[in-house]
Amino acid sequence: MLELDRVTKRFNGADGRAVTALSDVSLTIARHEMVCLVGRSGCGKTTTLRLIAGLERATHGRILLNGVPVEGPSAQRCVVFQRYTLFPWRSVLRNVAFGLEIQGVPKSKRHAIARHYLALVGLAEQVHAFPAQLSGGMQQRVAVARALATDPQVLLMDEPFGALDAQTRTVLQQELIRIWQEDRKTIVFVTHDIQEAALLADRVVVMQGPPGRIQAILNCDLPRPRDKGAPAFLALCDRIHTMLEVVNGWN
Amino acid sequence: MSRGFPILKGWLDRLTLPLLLLAGWQATALWLDKPTILPRLDAVASVLMQPTAKILITGSLIENMAVSLIRVVLGFLLAAGTAIPLGLAMGYFQRVERWVDSSVEILRPIPPLAWVPLILAWLGIRSLADWFPFLQTSLIGASIQFTTVVIIFIGAFFPVLLNTIQGVRRIPREYIESARTLGARGWALLHKVLIPASLPMVVTGLRIGLGIGWMCLVAAEMMPGSTAGLGYLIWYAYELLRADIIVAGMIAIGLIGFGMDKGFRRLEARLVWESSG
């Protein structure tokens, strides 16, 4: 279980004044749950993710993973970013094996594990390729495999498919659901794409800001795989959309 | 016709101007007939063709090349060994950068040759042979004065430092953060992420540093206290009005500099991951 307990984050802005990126956010995410954070830029969704990752420190409040406070980055909470996700000087195999290499897992074993996860994301053939030789979609698949290889408790994804074309994005969303259904990691997924959130999430957290706070939490209990044309799906998208519009005061 | 031999055509394009220049040189030298001002090419070539023959009372061309090369390699290694770690620290830790930056910025614009008098005053003409007596008998060993090595060090240091700092700063934040969330920190973060990610820029810095070191060296060898090396050779030849030796020495300097630059460019090309198979 992942708990955010009244978390506030302030940064020093460019002009020296403190900027509140996140204000008093509380959220509990169950094990195996897939939660999407949506909102427009500046709403604090990425800050929330970075705080969970331990890449930033909360100014107030605390974050607990299974009751243990988050004090810094750890292989328990892997991040998949939108860009520059892979190490360009390492082959695909050695990228995926990176986390295990840090843990001191012997070469033959870590390469075997890396091959397993590369097969899981459908890249068994590309193990010896370098990132620059792969398409954007393939690179993100490798990044997912790399994050899974250390068997983290939580997978944090910061608009991981945001830079991909629509078709590739759709394929990867389906792949992510398939992998998640096999592996059942806790996933926190940041996106500004309403449809993406509705397609993936068990719960959608709608955020507003600055300063960032939670506007609403919507349960999405539609069975998977979800049909983007089904009335229930469209109704869900509509609800998220309405929440965002309420947030931004357009109504 | 030439369409069928594009490689041949390429070479022809490259060689036409140099050959014309050489022909013009030789014609002028023959017409002028003043070897102290403009030596004939065959005179220059005969110096280059006998690299092991003793030149005047200095050593042979090969010996002087060796002296210069050893000096430059020593100074260069010293510069690389200090500038790379400092650059990594300055690029990664803002605190170190704030501490060191102003000193670097003040020292950097001082031409390496402006240091010669002070370094001579400190180190005199002490050489490697003062530390390793068995080197005393060899011209090469006795000629590796610390002064010249320090001048090369100063010349090579700053390009390596600045490129290393830039190399670290230009690492996308995501590389470091991905590595940290995969469990890397401290030493592992340094040698598995920071160093490989900045390596292309570091190697560019090494190439530029070596080139500048080489130029500083030849100039430093013309300064008092020098008793061997290519710079010394051409200066000494000037005093004896031997323009053929001057030109031969200049060609040797150019060829070595060219070779070192080419070697590093090859290394750089291999380090561009985007094209590596």
ipTM value: 0.86
Q: Is residue B32 part of a domain?
A: no
Separation of alpha carbons A113 and A97, rounded Å: 8
- pLDDT, average across residues B81-95: 92
pLDDT at residue A95 in the model:
93
Confidence of residue B140 (pLDDT cuts 50, 70, 90): low
Q: Is residue B164 part of a domain?
A: yes
Q: Classify A32 in phi/psi space as left (phi over 0), alpha (psi -120 to 50) or beta.
A: left
pLDDT at residue B154 in the model:
93
Judge: A146–B182 Cβ closer than 8 Å, yes or no.
Answer: yes
CATH of the domain at A235: 3.40.50.300
What are the two backbone dihedrals, phi and then psi, of residue A35, each rounded to the nearest 5 degrees? -115, 130
pLDDT at residue B4 in the model:
60
pLDDT at residue A225 in the model:
80
> How large a percentage of chain B has pLDDT more than 90?
38
Which chain B residues contact residue A85 at CB under 8 A?
174, 178
Which chain B residues contact residue A98 at CB under 8 A?
179, 182, 184, 192
pLDDT at residue B162 in the model:
94
pLDDT at residue A251 in the model:
39
Q: List the 180-239 stretch of B: residues with Cβ below 8 A of A.
A: 180-185, 188, 192-193, 196-197, 199
What are the two backbone dihedrals, phi and then psi, of residue B71, each rounded to the nearest 5 degrees? -55, -50
Query: What is the token pair recorded at A189?
Result: 């997924």
Judge: B183–A150 Cβ closer than 8 Å, yes or no.
Answer: yes
Q: Are A177 and A200 in contact (CB under 8 A)?
A: yes
Confidence of residue B138 (pLDDT cuts 50, 70, 90): low
CA–CA distances in Å: residue A211 to residues A11, A21, A54, A56, A192: 11, 5, 20, 16, 17
Confidence of residue B142 (pLDDT cuts 50, 70, 90): low
Q: What is the pLDDT of residues A113-157, one digit of tens each?
A: 999 989 888 888 888 889 988 888 889 889 988 988 988 989 999
Taking the CA of residue B7 and the nearest CA in chain A, the distance in Å comes to: 30
pLDDT at residue A163 in the model:
83
| Residue B191 CB neighbour total at 10 angstroms | 11
Q: What is the pLDDT of residues A191-217, one digit of tens each?
A: 988 888 888 888 989 888 778 888 888
Query: What is the token pair recorded at A108?
Result: 């033959």
Q: Is residue A229 part of a domain?
A: yes
Q: Is residue A66 part of a domain?
A: yes
Least confident of A102-116, A144-158, A219-233, B197-211: A219-233
Q: Is residue B9 part of a domain?
A: no
Q: Which of A62-76, A201-215, B129-143, B192-206: highest mean pLDDT?
A: B192-206
Q: Is residue A24 part of a domain?
A: yes
Give me the residue from A81, A102, A131 closest to B182, CB to CB.
A102
Confidence of residue B1 (pLDDT cuts 50, 70, 90): very low
Q: Is residue B203 part of a domain?
A: yes
Which chain B residues contact residue A75 at CB under 8 A?
181-183
Selected residue of B170, B181, B190, B268 to mutate for chain A interface (largest A Cβ count, 10 A): B181
Interface check B174 vs A, CB under 8 A: yes
Confidence of residue B273 (pLDDT cuts 50, 70, 90): low
Query: What is the token pair recorded at B200?
Result: 């292309």
Q: Is residue A47 part of a domain?
A: yes
Q: Is residue A226 part of a domain?
A: yes
pLDDT at residue B134 in the model:
67
Q: Is residue B10 part of a domain?
A: no
Give me the residue from B172, B188, B276 closest to A84, CB to CB.
B172
pLDDT at residue A161 in the model:
87
Answer whether residue B60 shows pLDDT above 50: yes
Confidence of residue B89 (pLDDT cuts 50, 70, 90): very high
Query: Could you give the number of structural domains in chain B?
Result: 1
Taking the CA of residue A171 and the nearest CA in chain B, the distance in Å comes to: 24
Q: Is residue B129 part of a domain?
A: yes
Q: Is residue A212 part of a domain?
A: yes
Query: Could you give the number of structural domains in chain A?
Result: 1
Separation of alpha carbons A45 and A61, rounded Å: 17
pLDDT at residue B135 in the model:
65
- Better-predicted residue by pLDDT, A16 or B121: B121
Taking the CA of residue A73 and the nearest CA in chain B, the distance in Å comes to: 5
Residue by residue, DSSP assigns A111-169 as: HHHHHHHHHHTT-GGGTT--GGGS-HHHHHHHHHHHHHHT--SEEEEESTTTTS-HHHH
Confidence of residue B50 (pLDDT cuts 50, 70, 90): confident
- Better-predicted residue by pLDDT, A19 or B130: A19
pLDDT at residue B127 in the model:
72
A62, HSE (Cβ side, Cα atoms, 13 Å): 8
Q: Which range of residues forms the domain containing residue B138?
A: 65-226+262-275
Judge: B277–A130 Cβ closer than 8 Å, yes or no.
Answer: yes
pLDDT at residue A250 in the model:
46
- pLDDT, average across residues A220-239: 83
Selected residue of B170, B182, B270 to mutate for chain A interface (largest A Cβ count, 10 A): B182
- pLDDT, average across residues B24-43: 89
Which chain A residues contact residue B274 at CB under 8 A?
88, 130, 132
What are the two backbone dihedrals, phi and then psi, of residue A101, each rounded to the nearest 5 degrees? -60, -45
Looking up tokens 């806790």 gives A186
| Residue A137 CB neighbour total at 10 angstroms | 18
Separation of alpha carbons A60 and A73, rounded Å: 18
Q: Is residue A93 part of a domain?
A: no
pLDDT at residue B277 in the model:
35
Alpha helices in chain A (DSSP H): 45-53, 92-96, 98-103, 107-120, 136-149, 166-183, 194-200, 231-248
| Residue A207 CB neighbour total at 10 angstroms | 26
Residue A231, classified by CB atoms within 10 Å of its CB into exposed (0-12), middle (13-18) or buried (19+), is exposed
Q: Is residue A209 part of a domain?
A: yes
Q: Is residue B30 part of a domain?
A: no
Taking the CA of residue A247 and the nearest CA in chain B, the distance in Å comes to: 30
Confidence of residue A249 (pLDDT cuts 50, 70, 90): low
- Better-predicted residue by pLDDT, B112 or B274: B112
CATH of the domain at B266: 1.10.3720.10
B71, HSE (Cβ side, Cα atoms, 13 Å): 37
Confidence of residue B139 (pLDDT cuts 50, 70, 90): low
Judge: A101–B174 Cβ closer than 8 Å, yes or no.
Answer: no
Q: Is residue B236 part of a domain?
A: no
